[in-house]
Amino acid sequence: MTKFEKLGINSVSELALLIPSSYEDYRLNDTLKPHKNQLIDATVESLYRAPSTIQITFFSHNLGHTLTGVLFRPKPYMMHQFAVGSRDYYYGMVECKQGNCSMVMPKKVTQIGSIVPKYKCGLRTDVMWRFIKKELRLECLLEEGIPSDIAQEVLKLHFVDSLDENSSEMSASSMEALKYIELYNYMLQLSSKRRYFEAIYTAQSDFKEWTKSLPFSLTAEQIATIEDIKNDFTKTTASKRMIVGDVGSGKTMVILASAYMVGSAKSILMAPTTILANQLHEEALKFLPNLKITLVSSKSKKESLEEYDFIIGTHALLYRELPTASLVMVDEQHRFGTQQRNKLEKLVNEGTKKPHYLQFSATPIPRTLAMIESAHIDVSLITTTPFTKDIESHVIHKSDFKDLLAHIKGEIAKNNQVLLVYPLVEQSEVLEYQSIEEARAYWEKNFENVFVTHGKDKEKEQVLLDFREKGDLLISTTVVEVGISLPRLTTVVIVGAERLGLSTLHQLRGRVSRTGLKGYCYLYTNQKSSERLDEFVNTTSGFDIANLDLKFRKSGDLLKGTNQSGNQFKWVDFVEDEAIVTRVKKDLNIGG
């Protein structure tokens, strides 16, 4: 096994990121430095062995001073380093009390006159240092594409010629160099995963005529995103694009515009739930009257799909024979596994040719992450909404319950609907909040038309549909986070709000005021105060919320969606480092 493999790295630039945990100063000094590690040029004058220690008397020639060396629980090999009468170099922590100086755990040293870095890694310190000196050279970093200023800066962390004893802080320029190299390696790896295939469909198409037929105007960002997609369709290479839009940003119109541009060359859209597929189908029938459109669900009859231009469905599509399609779209793509998404794509390939591929996500991501993602997939962001939502958000406590009840009764009297989100379905001894099962009796006793559902409820889609038509109050877990449109919903109350990520809270808040009604979001907590919730209440943009979430939670492996509380990057900060990402993209010649 090579040393690279032992360290779990693949390149010299990755080696540069394994920076020293500390340094040992093997330069001779003629002043005594108490409480510091120090090198002495000394003769061993005597040796005394006690049961669990060895005491050595040194005369230090550079300091002109006698010191007592102390070894605790000495190993047998240590004895050979201290022959009486011998003169050598020794290194250890010097302590002085009332004129008597001692050196704790002295060790014999041969590398004199330099500052030697110490590494915490899979290799022994001396082996690692020899490896670093052999492999980590300026020309090797330049060969890997690292710019000269970055390479020189990071080398200074390994090859040190002076130490600032008063500071343990890393300089801003060193930190920037580490961030650059970390991002450079990561984005290089991402871009190498990008595969290019010939597109089934290449055409110059337009959507301007279609937008004129709409009863409303599209936002500038909707149009810019559709332009991106239109441009993708002109290329002979099959495109892959992710469209990230906030709740209510109008991604549906981007989906319909894409299907319109492809026309009779066929588009397929997969949605995560029957409700969503139905809603998209209804919108498509309304705004794409010239296309032949069908809906595929587990209840659909098994007819041939060959004659349709636009096929909308749930994962039931994966079990049907699909015609070759020019465009495949996946809505709420994170709700499907990678295998499901790949299977859909494969079903409509034509030999080695592939369809253009659009994936949509309603979970806003930090802008910086979108820039990093663009190394392996094109990204379009929709940060604005077609109309401004008027939603008041408040953090509330037990003492506010009476006022909350009065608000709920007032909204129901106006024929509006209220959603209560509980953290659990059943009682828990660990959690200090009521569960759905504990709370429902109170609401069912005091209110009419109360509906209850949760994630494991097989009937949840039907419950949501029934609630939409005739409900006043819906009690649920976070199952309603995405999906069904509830036009009369004006209030959401989230119990134990501090337990949820800010992005989830934002998704839940986005359920209300979908049609311009005045909306309310109440975050119920037993915590006396919460900076996170206070900041959330004052932030309305999903993209700003994503940044806040990062600030409070650290980013996790955002690209894979795992490890949400840790951070796969050691140095990079998604909230702060947009400028460095921009430079890396430019240097790697990555668009998007």
Report DSSP letters for 303-341, one per residue. ---TT-SEEEESGGGGGS-----SEEEETTGGGS-HHHH
Contact indicator for 455, 477 with CB cutoff of 8 Å: yes
pTM over the 0.75 mark: no
Report the pLDDT value the prediction gives residue 36, as an integer from 0 to 100: 86
- Give the distance from CA 9 to its chain's centroid: 22
What is the residue whose two structure tokens read 């970055």?
150
DSSP-assigned beta bridge partners for residue 382: 245
Mean pLDDT over each residue of the chain, to the nearest integer: 86
Give the span between the Cα atoms of 394 and 399, in whole angstroms: 13
pLDDT < 70 regions, the chain: 1, 164-168, 333-334, 428-430, 479-484, 553-568, 591-592
Eight-state DSSP code of residue 170: P
Give the span between the Cα atoms of 413 and 416, in whole angstroms: 7
- Domains of the chain, by residue range, sit at 3-169, 208-363, 391-539
CATH number of 391-539: 3.40.50.300
Q: Which fold has domain 3-169?
A: OB fold (Dihydrolipoamide Acetyltransferase, E2P) (2.40.50)
Contact indicator for 41, 28 with CB cutoff of 8 Å: yes
- Give Cβ neighbours of residue 399 (< 8 Å, ≥ 6 apart): none
20-24 long-range contacts, CB within 8 A, separation 24+? 20/117, 20/118, 20/119, 20/157, 20/158, 21/118, 21/119, 21/120, 22/117, 22/118, 23/115, 23/116, 23/117, 23/118, 23/160, 23/163, 24/91, 24/115, 24/116, 24/118
Q: Beta 115-118 vs 240-245: how paired, if at all?
A: unpaired
pLDDT tens digits along 398-411: 899 999 999 999 99
Q: Which CATH number fits domain 208-363: 3.30.70.1530, 3.30.43.10, 3.40.50.300, 3.30.420.40?
A: 3.40.50.300
Report the pLDDT value the prediction gives residue 430, as an integer from 0 to 100: 65
Report the pLDDT value the prediction gives residue 168, as an integer from 0 to 100: 64
Give the span between the Cα atoms of 345 and 199, in whole angstroms: 12
208-363 and 391-539: same fold? Answer: yes
Contact indicator for 232, 239 with CB cutoff of 8 Å: yes
pLDDT tens digits along 415-425: 999 999 988 77
What token pair was written down for 161?
């010629």
Give the span between the Cα atoms of 60 and 28, in whole angstroms: 11
Report the pLDDT value the prediction gives residue 559, as an integer from 0 to 100: 42
Contact indicator for 326, 265 with CB cutoff of 8 Å: yes
- Give Cβ neighbours of residue 397 (< 8 Å, ≥ 6 apart): 524, 525, 526
Report the pLDDT value the prediction gives residue 167, as an integer from 0 to 100: 57
Report the pLDDT value the prediction gives residue 328, as an integer from 0 to 100: 94
**Residue 153: C-alpha distances to residues 50, 129, 131, 140 (Å):** 49, 18, 19, 14
Convert 144-163 to b/e letters by CB count within 10 Å (16 or more is b). bebbeebbebbbebbeeeee
Contact indicator for 378, 241 with CB cutoff of 8 Å: yes
The H or E element that residue 573 is part of is none
What token pair was written down for 479?
């199952």
Report the pLDDT value the prediction gives residue 555, as an integer from 0 to 100: 42
Q: Work out the burial of residue 113: count CB atoms within 10 Å of its CB; fewer than 13 is exposed, 13-18 middle, 19 or more buried.
A: exposed
